[in-house]
Amino acid sequence: MDVLKSLASAPSVEHYHLLLLIGALVSIVLYPYLGFLLGTSYLSNRFNRKGRKERNALYLRLAKNLAEIALVNKTVPTVFALLPALSLLFVYAQLLQSTASLAVSFAGFGFIALLAAVILLYAYKYTFQLGDFLEGYKEVLQSTKKPGDGLSSLQEYSDSNERLHLLFGQYGVVLTVVAAFFVASAFVVASNPVNWEHIDSIFSLFLSFDVYVRFLQFLALSAGATGFGVLFFTFSWNRTEEEPGEAYAALVRTLSMRLITGSLLTLPVLLLLGYFLLPGESLSGVLFGIAGLSLGFLLLAAQFVYTYERGKEPHHAASALYVFGCAAALLSVNDQVALYNATKGQAAYLSYRHETEIEELKSKLGVSGVVLTGEDIFNAKCSACHAVDQKKVGPAYKDVVPKYVGRKEQMMAFVLNPIKINPAFPPMPGQGLKPAEADSIVSYLLRKLGPADTKGAAPGQTAPKK
């Protein structure tokens, strides 16, 4: 998957923001849908086996409906799962190019597993229908006067269909879990710069606590999406169908309520734990604001479910699902905010590379514009507040520049986007430099004050006092 990273070209700042936006939009649909797919297919398998063993028609009916909800037609999984997972892969490849991060590979594994899972779950759904059809045919044959050989070969066929059917279901669920795990890992590895270096193989991934917390978060979301979704699709969606019937309705209600309660109790705790594990640079006020808002939505969803339980009004089940969907959407947006916070430095570096690439292209084409020298920029933009050897509004360069020797990128990142450093000074205002300009002023200062030149420079001007 690293090929993708090397194919990507450095994005400009606008392009970078666009990438984050695409990431946010696709994860808003991907996570809840993937959770719903996992929940419904897992439960469908469970009720299917249980129903067959206990010859319980109600369980089988539930299993069949669950197998169909998330995969009604081919468009739904394509639009809600496959395309988003693929887009996420490309977003990571662009954002994390030239880093060591394995997020792109993990997102790639996730996509492949998801593709296989969707195919298997489709086969599971079709063999379910085929099984029903074969049963019906068997009954017809049995009721005729002389069933003959037809019946035994039919029996054989339907047995093998059932064996395959159960296998498809089982492996479909396993692969969905694998896909979800890798999608979760890709995010964990992308949103924390420490993990870019730290998680350097699948093994270190399995040893990382963060990944498990994230995966548990996903499972809690999945339980919620399944509970709210099943409630909605059984009682509120498509009311023209026949009434579900008392016993069936009760079964669905108990199941959904359990899922919803489990989800609403665990999700907030796991979310807090997740924020706690993010590094300082990935956190921000916006992040906590959105998190608070999504907790509010979760509470509201709980309230709607409670009202639904009491009055059994279908539209309350619908509102509960919508509100839960809003909470889930906000959580996905939050992921993107964390990713934005984590990749800010990376973005500054990439947009610098973008500009140099463009400059190179321009000079190749002979349309190169005038580039200001470091000295020009110093005189125009910095000299008001800085001098080499005396303190003005900002610190003397001889006191601050030497610490950046060998760390040119960090110095560029500071000049492009100053942060508060020394409490003895006011914060430095942003200078609105282009990355290429920041490059020249920083190179100029480092040349002037770096170790190689200090001896040769005019006395009193540059020799740093220790």
Count the Cβ atoms, other than its own, within 10 Å of residue 142. Answer: 10
Q: Can you tell me the distance from the alpha carbon of 239 to that of 150, in angstroms, rounded to the nearest whole number?
A: 41
Kindly provide the b/e burial profile for residues 153-187, where b requires at least 16 CB atoms within 10 angstroms of the residue's own CB. ebeeebeebbeebbebbbbbbebbbbbbbbbbbbb
Query: Which of 37, 350, 400, 449 is in the footprint of ligand HEC by CB under 6 A?
Result: 400
| CB-based burial label for 12 (10 Å; 0-12, 13-18, 19+) | middle
Query: Which of the ranges 251-259, 287-295, 331-339, 412-420 carries the binding residues for ligand HEC, by CB under 6 A?
Result: 412-420
| Run of H or E residues at 291 | helix 285-311
Q: How far apart are the first and last CA of the chain?
A: 49
Q: To the nearest whole angstrom, how small is the minimum distance from the Cβ of residue 379 to ligand HEC?
A: 10
Distance CA 208, CA 444 (A): 42
Residue range at the interface with ligand HEC (CB under 6 A); choices 19-27, 90-98, 136-144, 421-429: 421-429
Helices (H) and strands (E) in the chain, counts: 18, 0
Contact between 434 and ligand HEC per CB under 6 A? no
- Residue from 205, 394, 412, 462 in contact with ligand HEC (CB under 6 A): 394
3 state DSSP class of 242: coil
- Member of 5, 64, 316, 386 binding ligand HEC (CB under 6 A): 386
By CB under 6 A, the residues from 120 to 179 that bind ligand HEC are: none
Q: Is 265 in the site for ligand HEC (CB under 6 A)?
A: no
Query: Which range in 8-16, 202-210, 362-370, 376-384 contacts ligand HEC by CB under 6 A?
Result: 376-384
Which of residues 427, 447, 451, 461 is near ligand HEC by CB under 6 A? 427
Which one, 172 or 395, has the nearer CB to ligand HEC? Answer: 395
What distances in angstroms separate CA 345 from CA 108, 264, 395, 415, one per listed residue? 25, 36, 23, 12
Among 161, 356, 373, 431, binds ligand HEC (CB under 6 A): 431
| 95, 415, 416, 446: which one binds ligand HEC (CB under 6 A) | 415
b (16+ CB within 10 A) / e for 310-330:
eeeebebbbbbbebbbbbbbb
Looking at the Cβ atoms of 21 and 457, the one nearer to ligand HEC is 457
HSE, CB side, 13 Å, CA atoms: give it for residue 294. 24
Instruction: Compare residues 417 and 431 and give the one whose CB is closer to ligand HEC.
Output: 431
Among 265, 393, 430, 461, binds ligand HEC (CB under 6 A): 393
Binding mask 78-107 for ligand HEC (x = CB under 6 A): ------------------------------
Is the CB of 62 or the CB of 428 nearer to ligand HEC? 428
Q: How far is the CB of 398 from ligand HEC (least distance, A)?
A: 11
The answer to whether 369 touches 362, Cβ cutoff 8 Å, is yes
Query: Could you say which residues in the range 42-71 bind ligand HEC, by CB under 6 A?
Result: none
Dig out the tokens for 254 from the structure.
């108990």
- Greatest pairwise CA separation for the chain in angstroms: 115
Give yes or no for a contact between 103 and 17, defined as CB atoms under 8 angstroms apart: no
Nearest approach in angstroms of CB 12 to ligand HEC is 21
Among 79, 194, 247, 384, binds ligand HEC (CB under 6 A): 384
Backbone angles phi, psi at 452, to 5 degrees: -60, -35
Q: How many residues bind ligand HEC (CB under 6 A)?
A: 25
Cα–Cα distance list, 439 to 35, 105, 329 (Å): 46, 32, 39
Residue 416 near ligand HEC by CB under 6 A: no
398 binds ligand HEC (CB under 6 A): no
Residues of span 441-460 touching ligand HEC by CB under 6 A: 441
DSSP 214-236: HHHHHHHHHHHHHHHHHHHHHHT
Helix (H) or strand (E) holding 51: helix 13-54
395 forms part of the interface with ligand HEC (CB under 6 A): yes
Q: How far is the CB of 94 from ligand HEC (least distance, A)?
A: 29
Interface with ligand HEC (CB under 6 A): 377, 381-382, 384-386, 393-395, 400-401, 411, 414-415, 420-422, 425-429, 431, 433, 441
